[in-house]
Structures are given as structure tokens and as C-alpha cells.
Structure 1
Amino acid sequence: MTSHPTRPRSTGLLLAAGAGRRYGQPKGTVEDAGGPWVVRAARALLDGGCGDVLVVTGAQAEDVEALLANAQLDNVTTTRCGTWEQGMGESLRSGLTALATRGRTIPQQALVHLVDLPDVGADVVARVLDASGAGTGGLVRAAYGGRPGHPVLLGADHWEGVLGRARGDAGARGYLRRVPPLVVECGDLASGVDVDGPPS
């Protein structure tokens, strides 16, 4: 795997709070031959260049947090979303709010990623980060075969706008319709397909 430079002021924001009802268990607790999805996603964010990772937990939070603790990854912390049952938008709000209230360590960028994209690795993360440039104004989204997906980079200048529209399952969708992001094609690196059901 290619080594990518670290950006200390870019934080990976990993959403892993959902119950995974269609899957049959919270996706933050899923493990396969490659290990726990939540650990794999956190490692991809770090290896791709994020200076640290904040994981938002909710359903079976203690189990998800235990998987991360057992992996002993540096620079990975968690925050619990008490309203996770209302949808992904609540997890995003919880994570961005936690980042925005860090005081002197507020990052310039949050790279939002989902736990149920197990084939999205460090190279995708690095490509999105590279496209954003430095600073707080970036707004970049990965695409796969022209289909918009995750991760999505939100420079801090955009957080207030996203927080104002993140409700239920909407996440940043409404904001990204109003303020179109730079779209970066990553279909040569991953499928970007979220896994909705268990393997048959």
C-alpha cells in the first residue's frame, strides 16, 4: 500500500452509529475475513492522510468501542450520538458538533466516511484529501463510475451550513445540492457500494 502524507488538521469523521436493521446487526459491529469494518475504515482514514479519526457510535456503542480499543489504533477517539435512531443526519450533527467544540484543536477539515463501505481504502481517502487542498474552504466528494458517494470532505467553512440542514437520514445531502462539491472520480480504486445485507 502506498504511504500517504498526514494532514494534522484534517480529521476523519466515521459514522458508525446505525442499527443496521436491513443487515441484521449494527454495521459498526460487523467483522469479516478482513477484520472489523469499523477498524478497517478507521485505519483507511489514518493511512490515507487524516491526522486523527473521530468515530460516532450509537447502536451497541460499547461493542463498537471495544472493537476499536482492541485494535489499539493511535489517534482514534469516539463520541456517542444519543439520537442515532433518528437517522444518519443526527450522527453527522453529533460528530461535527464534537469537532467544532474542540477548542484549539478544531480541525480545518472533516472527511466524512461511512462504516459500511468496506472496499473504500486509504488510496480513496488520499485522493479526496489531495483534491481539497489545505485550509477551511474545501468541499469535495468521491464518486464511483460517476455516482456520488463517500467519503465527503467538509472544510470547516461549510460546517454551519451542513449542521443547519442535517436532519433524520438527510445528512449533508441538502447542503451539497445547494453548494455543489468538487467531485473526484474514484471508481478505479473501489466500488464505493454500501453493504446493506449480510452475505448470502
Structure 2
Amino acid sequence: MPEAAAAAVPALVLAAGGGRRLGGRPKALLPFRGRPLVEHAVRTVRAGGCDPVLVVLGAERERAAAEAELAGCTVVANPDWAEGMGSSLRAGLAALPAGAPAVLVALVDTPGVTPAAVARLLAAHREGAELAAAGYAGRRGHPVLIGARHLAEAAAGATGDAGARALLAAHRAELLLVECGDVAVPDDLDTPADLARWSVS
């Protein structure tokens, strides 16, 4: 096993969005099982084996930091959150601890992602994968794992709402899809109908 692959892999939870299609309700604070949704995302990546956990907050970030239980997390402020997901990815990547062998990027609004899916991506990295994404019946989804040698390129290509899309497209042949459809659900929370389907209360 390569030495770098044996090191702990941090998680980056992107939770800065303002929830425009949800009436301007910040996604980090959406109630999920009685607690802010961002807490669920943090628990998921931790239980899957990531350490440390960085959380990027933007819309109403002071309120989110106060109301959500984020003990042990590094909270990264993204004042440019309205520019789109790319700005949050750049902010999070810039805050990674030096020497991180990779990062697992998770979205706050995918509550169907499970610790088992996270663990599969980390296992793929330990086996040598430098770019990996959860796959659902052969379709790329979240979370995504980015190895250290791709971090600068990921940051450079993170614009608008594209996130890591440019990086993954440029290295399509190298990207490993790790099937997770048997242990996770890729659906995200974007509309009031999505909230109702996930029984968020």
C-alpha cells in the first residue's frame, strides 16, 4: 500500500448554498430528522472514515455555525457563495491540511449518501485510485474523491456551479466509478417536492 494512500483522507462538505428553489432557505439549515441537514452530512462522512471534516458555509453562515452542531469540524467561510458551487470548492480546497493525500467532496443536499458509500471511495483510494466517484447504475454521482495530484487543477477549474466537473471531464479515462447504488441513493434536495419526498420535518 502506498504510504500516501494510508494517510487519513479529509472530507469537504459543501454546504454554502442559499436554497434559491427552496424559497431562500439555506440548505445547511434544512431540518432533517429533527436537526440541521449539515449535521447529517458531517455524520455520514465521519462514519465512512474521513478525518478531518471541513464544512464550507456561505448563506447565513453565522446562523448555520451557531445552530448546527459542528464540533470537531473546520468551518470554512465562503463569502462568495452566491457565485455557485465552484467558489465553495475553491474555498474548501484552499483550507485543506497540508499533505492531505486526497479529499472526499460531499454535498450537503444528498441525504441518501451513506457511510458505506463513503467507505467504498476511501477503499478505492487505498487501492490506488486518484480520481473516483460514486456510481449509480453506471452514472456518476456523489461523493467524489480527488487525489492530491489533482487538487490544484480541481481548484483552477471550479467556476460557477460546475464544481469539479471540468476536472472529471478532463480525466474521464482515469476516473473510477465505484458502484454504490446498492448502499446509497443519489437524489438531492432542490425543491419543496424533494423535501416532501425525503420526509424532512
So what's the TM-score if we normalise by structure 2? Answer: 0.86
In the other structure, the counterpart of 1:149 is 141
Bigger fraction of residues in strand: 1
Per-residue deviation at 1:131? 1.0
- The residue type paired with residue 32 of structure 1 is F
Asked whether 1:20 is paired with 2:13, we answer no
Counterpart of 1:45? 45
Q: Structure 1's 60 and 145: CA in aligned 2 closer, same or farther, altered over 3 A?
A: same
Residue 82 (structure 1) aligns with? 79
Q: For each residue in 1:67-98, what CA deviation from the matched residue of structure 2 results, as whole angstroms up to 9, or x when unmatched?
A: 33xx364x311010111110000100010011
Structure 2: distance between partners of 1:65 and 1:134: 36
| Alpha-carbon contact 2:7-2:101 (below 8 Å) kept | no
Mapped contact 1:128–1:153 kept (Cα < 8 A): yes
| Partners of 1:27 and 1:194 in 2: CA distance | 11
Contact conserved, 1:39 with 1:67, CA < 8 A, in 2? no
Residue 117 of structure 2 is aligned to residue 124 of structure 1 = yes
Q: What is the SS of the residue equivalent to 2:9?
A: strand
C-alpha distance in 1 between matches for 2:77 and 2:40: 19
Give the structure 1 partner of residue 168 of structure 2: 176
Trace 1:161-172 onto structure 2 (pairs within 5 A).
161-172=153-164
Q: What's the counterpart of residue 188 of structure 2? A: 194
Q: Which residue pairs with 2:3 in the alignment?
A: none
Moved over 4 A (4+): none
* Structure 2 counterpart SS, 1:10: coil
Measure the CA separation in 2 of the matches of 1:191 and 1:86: 27
Deviations for 1:10-62, whole angstroms, at most 9, x for unmatched residues?
10000000101012211111112253210011011111000110000000101
Between 1:30-39 and 1:174-183, the stretch displaced more is: 30-39
| Structure 2 equivalent of residue 139 of structure 1 | 131
Amino acid across the alignment from 2:102: Q
Unaligned runs of 5+ in 2: 1-5, 197-201
SS of the equivalent of 1:56 reads strand
TM-score by length of 1: 0.87
- The aligned counterpart of 2:93 is 96
Instruction: State the number of aligned residues.
Output: 186
Preserved CA contact (<8 Å) 1:8 1:52: no
How many angstroms apart in 1 are the aligned matches of 2:94 and 2:154? 11
Bigger shift: residues 109-118 or 75-84:
75-84
